[in-house]
Amino acid sequence: MRVSDLIIEHSLQLRLETPTGPKRLAQEITRCAPTEHLDPTPFLDPNVLLLTAGIGMNFSEQSIWDGYVERLARVPVAALGFAVGIAHAELPRGLVEACASHDLPLLEVPASVPLLKIDQYVEGMLEAEQIARYDRGWSLADECARLASRGAEVATLLAAIYAALELPVAVYDAFDSLIAQYPESVTWREGKSRAAQPDVLAMPLPMGLSQPCQLAVRLYGSASEIEALLAPVSSILALQLNRSVAVDANSHHDMQRFVNRCIAWSEATRSDVADAFHELGLSRRAETSLVVADLRGEHAAAAWKLRIALHDAFNDVRVTEIDDRLIALAQFPRDEPLRFTERLEQLQPNLPLVFRPPTRTIDELRIALVHALDLVRHVEHPVTAPALGLGAVVAAAAGRGARESAERFLAPLLEHDEQRTTELLPTLRVWLRNDAQPSRTCEELFIHRNSLSYRLRRIEQLLGLPLDTLDGKATCLLALRLVDLEPY
């Protein structure tokens, strides 16, 4: 929103009363400031549009008008809108001369146009421009996410940013060394001399590091507009740097080691898991939240959105990607977990994702991680995991000899099916999967209800336990889960 935009808006009927040049009229307006203070400058921000009817300005001395306008120009304000017909029948001559002297655009507001109308128009236009910048920024982020999901290099992403901004861009590491830039013809300073580089906007990239890389933009205009455009795409750059430049390689490998020890129940002890957690640099006294997301196929580009959400919601985050699954540990939340889960649901409604609210101990975190890795394979949208999951309990038990016991327990059914070509074991699976409901089980197996009853009685005889009790059903369910257990 520029001063010149106000002048050409016919509905406002504003008239420029000073010989102002095009460069001055191209000044951006940050907001409106209606006021009748004789000295409003202590309350003004730079580049506001000051609106006044001149109530109380009943002076004729040129020096007073000069002093008034000089203070406004020192702020500086973008323009002065002066309403006639309320306190002044026409623009005071002293005000016109003072504005011309200090190169402050003076706009005459006719009596037929209320100052409130101008205020509403400017604020509406500023809001529309802000929304447009927001949309433009996310469009750029989506384009870069598409490129990143196809394995694009960091330089390719910088080229896409340059095409959108038409401004040279570069990435520095934590030691002020240049990692990548676009275009190559532009000269960037490195090391200690980088701080003296003029007209450069530097934005830290959200990489979960105490000393992250920075995105640098050579400025030829407003820094605030560029920052708004680059905020979403900065996380994509951070993600791509973590992948291709390996500035966060140590954390990535430490996360992989922690995950591998958590799921290796038979090989890794509690002490092994605790040591791996300690190597992550996370606090053992703080509660730890967990996120597991399936990024296969169309969901690959969602990784950067998840990183944005995690770093916005938590102060300390560790992230890795293993076999198309993003796994994150997070501590010290900035907001309530409920709001974070709501944001995840809005982020990408069809993303297979499991969020586990804060865990208090290493053992609880280990169980939660194994459960989330199992649960994410069965969901089609973001879900909050319960405090305990059967899959994690089964995995924990499998590492302590339970799997072998389950195989021996179910062996009579397997042997019976092989020798007599029956389907007792598949029948048990379907029956339990359908919550022991006879009608649903018969419908899936295409058998009569009497046939199902016969098979269940035969299963009871071979296993030596009743299936009409909760204990019997639970034992069979656990046994089947144990023998079907797959590695994560």
Q: How far apart are CA 94 and CA 137, in angstroms?
A: 45
Percent of the chain with pLDDT over 70: 90
Domains of the chain: 3-113 (3.40.1390.20), 134-245 (3.30.450.40), 249-388 (3.30.70), 397-483 (1.10.10.2840)
Closest alpha carbon to 348 in 304, 289, 288: 304
- Top-ranked range on mean pLDDT: pick from 101-105, 181-185, 307-311, 338-342: 101-105
How far is the C-alpha of 256 from the C-alpha of 132, rounded, in Å?
Answer: 40
- H or E element in which residue 27 lies: none
Confidence bin at 245 (pLDDT 50/70/90): very low
Q: How far is CA 365 from CA 269, 287, 438, in A?
A: 14, 9, 38
Q: Considering only CA atoms, which of 346, 400, 392 is closest in space to residue 368? A: 392
- Residues 293/351, Cβ–Cβ less than 8 Å: yes
Query: Considering only CA atoms, which of 288, 465, 485 is closest in space to residue 392?
Result: 485
Please state which of the ranges 124-133, 178-187, 232-241, 465-474 shows the lowest mean pLDDT: 232-241
Strands (E), 10-69: 15-16, 31-34, 48-52
Q: What is the pLDDT of residue 221?
A: 62
Q: What is the DSSP string of 214-280?
A: EEEEE-SS-HHHHHHHHHHHHHHHHHHIIIII-TTHHHHHHHHHHHHHHH-TTT--HHHHHHHHHHT
- 249-263 vs 362-375: helix axis angle to the nearest 10? 90
pLDDT tens for each residue of 373-416: 988 988 999 988 887 767 667 766 665 567 788 888 999 999 99
User: Which phi and psi angles does 452 have, rounded to 5°?
Assistant: -65, -45
pLDDT tens-place string over residues 155-185: 788 899 898 888 899 888 766 777 778 888 8
Q: Among residues 230, 138, 377, which one has the least CA distance to residue 146?
A: 138
Rounded mean pLDDT, 248-276? 82
pLDDT grade for 487, boundaries at 50, 70 and 90: low
| Residue 308 scores a pLDDT above 90 | no
pLDDT tops 80 at residue 304: no
pLDDT at 248: 40
Kindly report the average pLDDT of the chain as a whole number. 85
What confidence tens digit (pLDDT) does each residue in 88-102 have?
Answer: 999 999 999 999 999
**pLDDT attached to residue 247:** 35
Structure-model confidence comparison of residues 241 and 320, the more confident one: 320
Q: Which residue has the tokens 């336990």?
A: 465
Distance CA 274, CA 268 (A): 10
Band of the pLDDT at 195, cuts 50, 70, 90?
confident
Q: What is the C-alpha to C-alpha distance for residues 66 and 99, in angstroms, rounded to an integer?
A: 8
State the pLDDT at residue 296: 86
The model's pTM is 0.47
∠ CA 250-255-260 to the nearest 5 degrees?
130
**Structural tokens at position 229:** 């455009």
Count of CB atoms situated within 10 Å of the CB of 211: 11
pLDDT of residue 407: 87
Q: How confident is the model at residue 229 (pLDDT cuts 50, 70, 90)?
A: confident
What tokens does 478 get? Answer: 């656990």
Q: How far apart are CA 240 and CA 150, in angstroms?
A: 11
Say what the pLDDT of residue 209 is: 63
Between the CA atoms of 242, 248, 251 and 254, what dihedral angle is there, to the nearest 10 degrees? 80
Three state DSSP letters for 54-123: CCCCCCCCHHHHHHHHHHHHHCCCCEEEEECCCCCCCCCHHHHHHHHHCCCCEEEECCCCCHHHHHHHHH
pLDDT at 131 exceeding the cut of 70? yes
Alpha-carbon dihedral sign for residues 6, 7, 8, 14: positive
* Residues 24-75: tens digit of each pLDDT: 898 889 899 999 998 999 988 899 999 999 998 988 899 999 999 999 999 9
Contact 209, 202 (CB under 8 A): no
- pLDDT score for 286: 93
- pLDDT of 84 > 60? The answer is yes
pLDDT at 337 over 60: yes
pLDDT for the residue numbered 222: 64
Pick 399 or 204 by higher pLDDT: 204
